[in-house]
Structure 1
Amino acid sequence: MTMHIEEEPVSRSPGGGTSYWPDVRASLVVFLVALPLCVGVAVASGVPAELGIITGVVGGLVAGLLPGSSLQVSGPAAGLTVLVADAVAAHGIGALGVIVLGAGLLQVLMGLLRLGRWFRAISPAVVQGMLAGIGLVLVLGQLYPFAGRESPATTGEKVAGLPGLVVDAVSSPAGVGLGLLTLAVAALWNRSRLKVVPGVLVAVVVASAIGLLLPLPRIRVGPLTDAVTVVDLNLVDAGVLGAVVTFALVASAESLFSAAAVDRMHNGPRTRYDQELVAQGVGNAVCGVLGALPMTAVIVRSATNVRAGARTKASRVLHGVWLLVFVVALPGVLSYVPLAVLAAILVQAGWKLLEPRRVLALIRTDRAESVVLLLTAGLIVTTDLLTGTLVGLLAAVVKTAWDVSRLSVTVTPDGQEHEHVTLRGNATFLRLPRLLEALESLPVTKHVRVDLSGLRHLDQACRQAIEQWADAHRTAGRTVDLIRPASG
């Protein structure tokens, strides 16, 4: 596939030269938002914090340089924490690099095969259900650090441990209070007129400053070189290959859904979906070689980038530079951030994924779509991400097939010994029971005329059923006329 890079608009200074200040300023804002999220996603995934930062750096310096999207920012995503935690628990942290590398290569292949656009055809109810299920699991897991406890491995254990968590929270309220303070500061700041500075950053700074007075567990970040592991291909087995496919599909879907949302926020060049899928795949392949977390395009950082005034992809590349410089030069600063503060930021991210208002609105307006959403989310919570998503997609396909298979059967008597049956719409196997019921309930007459000319579609199952019914009717000594569709 031939790739080309579109010219991107840049701002001009009053003297006629090119001004890069808007991108530099936006990159600093995105960096300040990305830093706690990179660490928080890693901690929530059950891996060293350094791996999240490495993924953030790769998202800026590798994916950020490649064509596809101009303003979308990539890095570790809260939506993949459940997937990573399950994979590490099942296969060990050593297999994480293999899984992410394989997922990246599969994404590159899908992009070269021009499959990126097909991710836009996934039912919104499935997408919303997937995000809601992930958000709920994420919120449940991050309640435990408030009380200074390690989050259980499975969702069932998270739910079962809630009563004990309440007791721990009452006996040691410092972490809970600091977490609630973080959420409150972020919410209030976002409602103020000072949105140039992100509320997440203000909340982390304020809560961490107060947390210096409290004996709470804190982040530990060491040198990035200590966290890098060489990928071990000997760990490949059937379970790992299944995880590769799951990672690739979920990461691709999240990235391309984010791209569609970001494109609605600016007037610059539109995302080229196949090229963006290749860019994400290359980034994940690099992350896999380094043994880091998987990477996706992230809507929170991308929206921050657009709102901060970014004009070109320079802003997302520079945000990766600032991440690398900060961790190399000032790694000790992160040790002042309590884990309860990071947990609060991730609770906020999980709540945004859950979007209870949109879920309730869908339940009120479209019950069928809401069933698909709730089924997807419920299975993700009770089983796993892959099972919930696949069953949700199957349910959405069945629902769509049922919706388009609208069949009208009208029976009109024409004298004492004649019946006229008119079919309109789409006669598919989903409507076959109703069609046979209508035909078999006809009164015993000498002549039946079945008009099929009004059908837009007649599948093989219904065609055979009608012909078999007509043959049986004729065998009984009656006559049947079939007026077939124009297609024959």
Structure 2
Amino acid sequence: MSLEVDVAPSRLSAIKDDVFASVVVLLVALPLSMGLALVAGFPFENAAAVGLISGVIGGIVVGLLSGCPLQVSGAANGAAVMAAVFIKDLGFEVFGLIVMMSGVIQIAAGALRFGPVFRAVAPALIQGMLAGIGLLIFASQFHVMVDDTPPGRGQEFGGVINLWSLPLAVWKGVTMEPHRPAALIGLLTIAAILSWRRWAPRWLSFLPAPLVGVGLATAVAAFFALDIKYVPAPDDLFAAVNLPTTHTLGRIGDGALWAAALSLAFVSSAESLLTATAVDAMQRRTPRTRYNKELVAQGVGNFLCGVLGVLPVSGVIVRSSANVTAGGRTRLSTVLHGLWILLFITLAPDVLRIIPVASLAAVLVYAGINLINLGFARFLWGQDRIETGIYAATVATVVATDVLTGIAVGVGLAVARLLYTFSHLNIRGEQINGMTVIHLEGAATFIRLPQLAAAFESLPHGARVHVHLNELTYIDHACLDLLANWEQQLRNDGGELVLDWDALHGLFRDRALAASAAA
């Protein structure tokens, strides 16, 4: 299978960019993989292996098959929370079977071409989702950066709790000895990233800033032998593998398991395809996402995760945005990040064990901040206050609940706004030199047909009427038919009805040209 690397003469340049991007994604993926396994309820001794195996599958298998080349898959928030519920309610024994079944459902959905449904998402929703996830990552990893546990982990409104308790995390990092060294390592990492991006020597600028930051922090921690938390790399990667038994497979007809698999498939698919849409919005280097192909790739990945009994995978916006920001050019960066995870945990786990957890958390803090596009929010505020409200509601709901609920709230508000727009018609009338001038503003649809008919019925017989249509955003056939009938009726009564069709046609033509130019 082709890795879609650019042809000569830019081939070596593309490979170089992908290699360095894959290292940045690796640094982001390591803490996420292990942390989400703990969230899902896996035992501490197996959590690292479970999360990392999912990262390997998401990087190598899903990366090779993906319909969105720059999207990076692995354990994700929504699927991890659902995994925790399944493990608690149904047990570890059938968890792998549930993940396998969800993968089969995703493959079938892709084959039936259900993927493009998720393309119908407005930019305000996508940016709101990204900003909300950015706040969640920032809030949780800030606590980890001071060697503390996020107080909201596993709790309802956990994101709000993490944000609310940020001052306490700062206080611990400044005043408490167990937390101060980790806080300094985290600050050193962020400072190194910012400094390297601005002042890196040209002959060394090819080194990714997060790698430089983590490398410097690791060297300082080792030199001073700091008593802080380090990456708990597993001794035996495959000790956490839980292959399905004959007894487990015998429960494949259990309705409760299918209900769980269906819900997991939906959440994983939504996270993946919404992330793919966001990746498309972030870059123009690769072709647009092939949604059905992406859905099948995620299904294959989850089927394998289920066979091994590890966390399900889906597209992860933090990893994917890191990939795009770091300069990833093709799917090679995604595949290599999975390969690096596999090589490190099988051949060089001791290298991982010298990396401070606080340093990796600092990389995530930096990545979370970068997901919050304040420039877009300011632009939206100047263009459309209602869209800004949808954006803000999406951000708030993602932080307070979860990503899918946030998207659902945003979609609901967008649909409500659409219904209002297509049902709102303002009719203004005035007398100018003996002629009745009527201005139609908004959407003239069959819903407002009685209102429009009443306006014409109130006119005296033989009236001279001029109807301005240039302020309309939409007019349907029912209203056009009504205007044509009144034109005929007024003419029969000795009156006159003037309709500025040319202005209406010019308005929609200009809008079409503007939209084409913007695209």
TM-score by length of 2: 0.72
- The reply to whether residue 137 of structure 1 matches residue 136 of structure 2 is yes
Deviates more, 1:92-101 or 1:240-249: 92-101
Equivalent-residue separation in structure 1 for 2:337 and 2:11 (angstroms):
14
1:34 paired residue among 11, 25, 34: 25
Within 5 Å, give how 1:33-432 maps onto structure 2: 33-47=24-38, 48-66=47-65, 68-69=67-68, 71-72=69-70, 74-76=72-74, 80-81=76-77, 83-92=78-87, 94=92, 97=96, 100-101=99-100, 103-151=102-150, 152-153=152-153, 154-169=158-173, 170-172=175-177, 173-191=180-198, 192=200, 193=202, 194-212=204-222, 213-222=225-234, 223-230=236-243, 236=257, 238=259, 241-259=262-280, 261-262=282-283, 264-265=284-285, 271-290=289-308, 291-296=310-315, 298-300=319-321, 302-303=323-324, 306=327, 313=331, 316-403=334-421, 407=425, 409-411=427-429, 423=440, 426-428=443-445
Deviates more, 1:239-248 or 1:439-448: 439-448
Q: In the alignment, is the contact (CA less than 8 A) between 1:155 and 1:382 conserved in 2?
A: yes
Q: Amino acid of the residue matched to residue 136 of structure 1?
A: L
Q: Amino acid of the residue matched to residue 217 of structure 1?
A: K
Change (3 A) 1:7 1:155: closer
Q: Amino acid of the residue matched to residue 224 of structure 1?
A: L
Q: In the alignment, is the contact (CA less than 8 A) between 1:101 and 1:289 conserved in 2?
A: yes
TM-superposed CA distance for 1:121, in Å, is 3.1
For residue 409 of structure 1, give the secondary structure of its aligned residue in structure 2. Answer: strand
Amino-acid identity (%): 31
Equivalent-residue separation in structure 2 for 1:304 and 1:378 (angstroms):
25
Equivalent-residue separation in structure 1 for 2:70 and 2:182 (angstroms):
34
Q: In the alignment, is the contact (CA less than 8 A) between 2:137 and 2:365 conserved in 1?
A: yes
TM-superposed CA distance for 1:453, in Å, is 11
Change (3 A) 1:240 1:165: farther
Equivalent-residue separation in structure 2 for 1:6 and 1:458 (angstroms):
49
Deviates more, 1:289-298 or 1:137-146: 289-298
Q: Amino acid of the residue matched to residue 327 of structure 1?
A: I
Equivalent-residue separation in structure 2 for 1:182 and 1:446 (angstroms):
81
Q: Deviations over 1:45-87 (max 9, x none)?
A: 2532323322332233322333635x5252327xx33x24532
Equivalent-residue separation in structure 1 for 2:37 and 2:142 (angstroms):
15
Q: In the alignment, is the contact (CA less than 8 A) between 1:133 and 1:376 conserved in 2?
A: yes
RMSD, aligned α-carbons:
4.4
TM-score by length of 1: 0.76
Q: In the alignment, is the contact (CA less than 8 A) between 2:101 and 2:258 conserved in 1?
A: no
Q: Amino acid of the residue matched to residue 320 of structure 1?
A: G
Change (3 A) 1:325 1:117: same
Q: In the alignment, is the contact (CA less than 8 A) between 1:175 and 1:340 conserved in 2?
A: yes
Q: In the alignment, is the contact (CA less than 8 A) between 2:106 and 2:296 conserved in 1?
A: yes
Deviates more, 1:272-281 or 1:22-31: 22-31
Change (3 A) 1:177 1:186: same
Q: Amino acid of the residue matched to residue 171 of structure 1?
A: M
Q: Amino acid of the residue matched to residue 7 of structure 2?
A: V
Change (3 A) 1:68 1:400: same
- Structure 2: gaps (5+ residues): 39-46, 487-495, 502-519
Q: In the alignment, is the contact (CA less than 8 A) between 1:125 and 1:372 conserved in 2?
A: yes
Q: In the alignment, is the contact (CA less than 8 A) between 2:62 and 2:73 conserved in 1?
A: no
TM-superposed CA distance for 1:369, in Å, is 1.7
Change (3 A) 1:303 1:406: same
Equivalent-residue separation in structure 1 for 2:321 and 2:164 (angstroms):
31
TM-superposed CA distance for 1:270, in Å, is 5.9
TM-superposed CA distance for 1:294, in Å, is 1.4
Q: Deviations over 1:423-456 (max 9, x none)?
A: 5763247768xx7499489979678899999685
Q: In the alignment, is the contact (CA less than 8 A) between 1:61 and 1:321 conserved in 2?
A: yes
TM-superposed CA distance for 1:198, in Å, is 0.9
Q: In the alignment, is the contact (CA less than 8 A) between 1:421 and 1:449 conserved in 2?
A: no
TM-superposed CA distance for 1:128, in Å, is 0.7
Equivalent-residue separation in structure 2 for 1:358 and 1:52 (angstroms):
34
Change (3 A) 1:52 1:189: farther
- Structure 1: gaps (5+ residues): 13-18, 471-480
Within 5 Å, give how 1:443-454 maps onto structure 2: none
